[in-house]
Each structure stands twice: as C-alpha cells, then as structure tokens.
Structure 1
C-alpha cells in the first residue's frame, strides 16, 4: 500500500505560511493519501501518466479551493506515487 507524505519546502515559505506549515502539510498529506487510496482501489490498467493526472485532480478535489489552487506538487514525486499504484511491489 502506498502512503505518500507531503513536505513543504521551508525555503520558499513566507512567515505566515511557515507558521501554518504543520497543519497545511497534514491537510495536503491527508488529501493525497485519500486520492491514492481511491485511485488504487479503482485502478484498471491506465498508464502512469494518466494515473499521475488523476492523483493531482483527486487530491485537489479534496482540498479547500484556495489551498487546491496553490497546490503544485513536485511532478517527479507525484509520478513516483503513480508508479507505485501501477506497479505495486
């Protein structure tokens, strides 16, 4: 089972974002994990690129619209989650 975790780059956060970093990371991680679980359960042989797009869309749909609009995960990391869904260990 894939259990992704979101970690924000502290070097790019302003003081307000830094203060909210812990709760924001928890919310983003929770949304990504929920998306991962749903997509894993519904997986029907789609290619990695399609799963990567679904992960991003599903994660954003689980977030407040303002947070979703600013959610720009590392595409390489998101792809690694998609690869783990497509090719489970």
Structure 2
C-alpha cells in the first residue's frame, strides 16, 4: 500500500496557512501515515467504516490539538485507505 499523503487545497487556505502549507502537509501526512500503521497493526475484523473512523481518530491524536481541530480530510479518500487495510487483512 502506498503511504497516504495529505495535500491541502491552496484555494481554501488563508495567507498564514499558505505560508505554512508545505510543513503543514508534511505534519498531516506523517500523522496519517502513523495512524495507518497503528490501525493496520491493530486491525481485528472491524468494518471499513470503523477503520475509517479509527484512522481519523488516530491521526488527530498525533497532532497538536489546534491542528487536529482543523484537520478534516476528504472522507472518501480516508475510506479508500481503510478499504486497503481491510482488504490486505483478508
């Protein structure tokens, strides 16, 4: 499975976020990748929707609370990662 990567839409960012876009994308991607590994290792037959929720929860847990509060990844893309985790386990 390819490592998930977060890409922020530059049109949706304020000027400060624009300046921090690269480091912010790296931090979000790192948190999501760590969450993917943790969820994958702990997978025990949960549904795709449960895995999707677990990924988001774990990713947010790995971020500063202020960043986590604003982290709202595309649900369909997060679900795709969850589908891969479930498929690999079966």
TM norm. shorter chain > 0.5: yes
Structure 2 unaligned segments of length 5 or more: list them. Answer: none
- Scaled by the length of structure 1, the TM-score of the pair is 0.96
* Corresponding residue of 1:49: 49
Where relative contact order (Cα < 8 A, 6+ residues apart) is larger, the structure is 1
Structure 1 unaligned segments of length 5 or more: list them. Answer: none
Structure 1 runs of 4+ aligned residues shifted over 6 Å read none
In structure 1, C-alpha distance between the alignment counterparts of 2:22 and 2:9, rounded to whole Å:
12
Q: Which SS does the other structure have where 2:88 is aligned?
A: coil
* Corresponding residue of 1:19: 19
- For the aligned residue pairs, the C-alpha RMSD in angstroms reads 1.2
- The equivalences for 1:52-63 within 5 A come to 52-63=52-63
Give the total of aligned pairs.
89
